[in-house]
Each structure stands twice: as structure tokens, then as C-alpha cells.
Amino acid sequence: MSEPMDIDPPTSSVNGNSNGNSKPSNAMTALMANSKGKGKANEGEIENKILSDIEIKALNDKEGLPWVEKYRPNTLDEVVSHQDITSTIEKFIEAGRLPHLLLYGPPGTGKTSTVLALARRLYGPPYKKHILELNASDDRGIDVVREQIKNFAMTKVLFSKGFKLVILDEADMMTQAAQSALRRVIETHTKNVRFCILCNYVNKITPAIQSRCTRFRFSPLPQKEIQRKVDEVVEKEGVNLTEDGREALLKLSRGDMRRALNVLQACHAAYDTVDETAVYNCTGNPHPKDIERVVQSMMSDEFGTSYSLITSLKVEKGLALQDLIAGAYDFLDTVELPKQSRIYLLDHLGSTEHRLSVGGNEKMQLTALLGAFKVAVELSQKKI
């Protein structure tokens, strides 16, 4: 913010001068001086204006960044909850013996951040010159692996020694053929390139590549760590987050820091006060009270009553059956149920979710689920 302010004073002083000096006796000279001065002032003004516009734009760009980018850790130390991994990587760097890395784990746990921090640690701020970053949105077919990576690996950055980094983000999306080609590329360029392979599912990476890398697993982040970061962002951005809102946010994020920050930003944009309802509305997740109503109704109401209640709730709140199933699953965790009914229900929740995911008809699956709840209630009354 300080820079545009530095630029502003000269503009006003040029204006001030031209106005202030414009009092000679000769009106013509005065006019000329004035117009000259004005011309200069205008030039200066325009120049300064352009400068400050650009600067303001840059600042705004930073301001306009999604919070996940704005608050992305810059150093390895700032990557929370994976101290064992970051300290091992730090040791590799200090010893000057960085192996190829394979980082895997669920989304939003810091894999990309760790690699970018590693690159910054190795090469300093101009790290972009030393890395080739390819993610799922880039074309990563077999030709790219062969040509682009090879070209990058072969060219040297001026005045630099050591190796360069190739970052393959979301590598589990690469085709098997591309992965096989990669195997050979890794081997031939090990001298001056290190590969950082990032993915969600390690079993989708061919064993041949896995065995050439040092593997690190990024587990879901504990709520405590997410809470700390959320609190930091809340303070810096001036978010009005209530206590129940915070709890809902942490519950919904399920160890995914990206989701926590994205939901927080969306809620902050949409609501003045971010409370529980705001969080559930923003994410499109059903509110626990609605879930409770649905489950209670499925257990105790008539089949038809319950069906129409759920259907109208779905329409009114725009809920999908999948969300209701996920909510019901969480809710069942919190209530007392006889063993046999719980097992029966969990089994049916699982299979209904599966059938929905492969394209099952939502109406039919809802009635099947209702039926399952009815049977579960009957089961609970039987003595075993």
C-alpha cells in the first residue's frame, strides 16, 4: 500500500508548482508558462498515473488472490503438521543429495506447497527459472514427457550449478504410456535433474517409478493445525467468524486445508457474519438440523409421509441424496442404536451411495433407503 502513496506526492507537487508559479505580469507568458507547466504536469501526471495504476493493479492482484494462494507457505518451516517430512527434505538439501521425490496423500495437505518451498529454498526467489512444473491441466502425453522434459533437462541455466527440478503435479492422471516413458527419462537425466512427483493415489503410479523415488505420505491435517491457520486468516482478513461457524468449518474440511480456506473465503464474501448456517449454505451441505429431521422421520413416520417430507426438503434446499447419505452417516455416529440395526443401516447407506455413484435413479434409491430404515427399526425391536 505504501508504494502508490510514495508516487502520489510528486504529482501533486508538480501541479502545485505550475499553479503556484503562474503569476507573471505578462498574461501571454503566464499563459505559455502555465500551459507548458501544465503540459509537463500532465505528462508527469500521466506517467505517474500509469505507474501507480500498474502498481495498484499489482497490489489488487495480490489482494484478489484466493486465500489458498495468498497464505500458501513460503518456506519449508511454514508447512505445518509434516515436520518429519520437511526436516528430512531439509537434511537432503544440506547434504546436497536430494533424491527423486514422490509425495502422495489426499488433497489440500501441502504437497504442492512443500515442493514449491523446496524450490525456493534451493534456488531463492528466481526459482521459476530452475523448475519445470507440469500439472494435470497441461498436456502430459508421451510426447511431452519425451520432448519437453528432455529439452528442459538438457538446457543449463546460466551461472547455475547443480540440478534442476521437474515437478509433475497430479501425476496419477498421467497415462500408463507416459509414465513408462518417464521411467527412462528419469534414469537418463538423473545427473542434472531431480523429479518431484505429486499425486493423490500412489497406487496409480507405476511401481517402476515408485522404486526410483523416495516416498513421503502426506496424511490429512489434524483439526488443530487447520484451526490455527483459519484463526490466522480470520484475524488478517477481518472475518466475522462465530464459534459454531468455526466448528462447522473444521468439521466440513476433514483435514483438507484448501477446502477450509476456500469455504471460509466464500462465506466471507457472501455473508457479513460467518456462522454455522452460512458455512452449510455456502458448501451446499445439508444443515445437521435438517439431517436430524430426515433421519427421525425415516425412523418413525409413515413411509409416504417421510418420502414427501424428504422430497420437499430436497427441492426446497437443493440437496442431493448423496449429501443426505453423508449427513445421515455422520448423524448415526452420534445416536444410540442396537448393534444389528446399525450394521444393517451402514451396509445400506454404503450400497445406496455406491449405486448412486454409478448412475442409479435418485427416486428409487431414496425409496430403497427408506425401506432400509424401516427394516432397521424392525430389527432393533427384535431381541437377539
Ligand X SMILES: Nc1ncnc2c1ncn2[C@@H]1O[C@H](COP(=O)(O)OP(=O)(O)O)[C@@H](O)[C@H]1O
Binding site residues, ligand X, CB under 6 A = 68, 71-73, 79-82, 107-113, 221, 229, 257-258, 261
Q: Which is nearer to ligand X, 135 or 206 (CB)?
A: 135
Q: How far is the CB of 42 from Mg ion (least distance, A)?
A: 49
Q: How far is the CB of 354 from Mg ion (least distance, A)?
A: 27
* DSSP output for 255-283: T-HHHHHHHHHHHHHH-SSB-HHHHHHHH
Choose the one of ligand X, Mg ion, none that binds residue 341, judging by a C-beta under 5 to 8 angstroms depending on kind: none
Number of other residues whose CB lies within 10 A of the CB of residue 352: 22
Between 18 and 109, CB nearer to ligand X: 109
Residue among 117, 133, 124, 189 nearest 166 (CA): 133
Residue with Cβ nearer Mg ion (86 or 112)? 112
Distance CA 108, CA 255 (A): 8
Could you tell which of Mg ion, ligand X, none binds residue 282, using a CB distance below 5 to 8 A set by kind? Answer: none
Per-residue mark of binding to Mg ion, 66-105 (x: CB under 5 A):
----------------------------------------
Q: Residue 69 CB, nearest distance to ligand X (Å)?
A: 6
Distance CA 169, CA 182 (A): 14
CA distance 382 to 384: 6
Q: Which is nearer to ligand X, 233 or 321 (CB)?
A: 233
Report how far Cα 76 is from the mean position of its chain's Cα atoms. 18
Q: Are 274 and 239 in contact (CB under 8 A)?
A: yes
Asked whether position 112 contacts Mg ion by CB under 5 A, the answer is yes
Separation between Cα atoms, residue 126 and residue 59, nearest integer Å: 20
Residue 72 or 194: which CB sits closer to ligand X? 72
Shortest CB 334 distance to ligand X, Å: 28
Distance of closest approach, residue 121 Cβ to Mg ion, in angstroms: 18
User: CA nearest 368: which of 384, 381, 349?
Assistant: 349
